[in-house]
Amino acid sequence: MRGAALLLLLIVATPAVANTPLPSQRLANTELPDPAQEARARGLMETLRCLVCQGQSIADSDAAMAGDMRALVRQRVAAGEESGAIRSWLVSRYGDYVSYDPPLSRATWPLYLAPIALLLIGVALARVSFRRRR
């Protein structure tokens, strides 16, 4: 009984410990002074997935890790680094999952082929259904 209560307490308390109490980095919530650099950084941040929230981009997420990633993107953009190089560095560090547009590989081919397969199955089912009605 105590084990079940402890497990329930851990499940309920998990969201409370998901974010760190540490202060966010300087550029996590502060825009760059150059509007062109900020627009480029913002565009890149909207294409990167928050690793904590999983459904939001780092531009939209309030998670501490997303703030750290926003600060990192802004620092690298301010230093003059190209968006492609920043994205490549983040993908090499966190994996393809950080990108909303993963490259075609053995692990991601089902993501690209599933819509085509489902469309072909739908067309085949529609043809069979229409032939039966005649």
Give the range of the structural domain holding residue 114, as residue numbers without chain letter: 104-134
Q: Read off the pLDDT of residues 56-98 as tens digits, 9 standing for 90 and up.
A: 898 888 888 888 899 999 999 999 999 999 999 999 998 888 8
Q: Read off the pLDDT of residues 14-32 as tens digits, 9 standing for 90 and up.
A: 555 555 544 456 666 777 8
Q: Is 80 left (phi over 0), alpha (psi -120 to 50) or beta?
A: left
* pLDDT of amino acid 10: 62
Q: Is residue 56 exposed (0-12), middle (13-18) or buried (19+ Cβ within 10 Å)?
A: middle
Q: Read off the pLDDT of residues 30-41 as tens digits, 9 standing for 90 and up.
A: 778 888 989 999
Ranges assigned E (strand) in 23-112 = none
Q: Enumerate the H helices of 79-108 as residue ranges.
A: 83-94
Provide the CATH number for the domain around residue 21.
1.10.8.640
| Residues 46 and 63 grouped into a single domain | yes
| Residues 67 and 117 grouped into a single domain | no
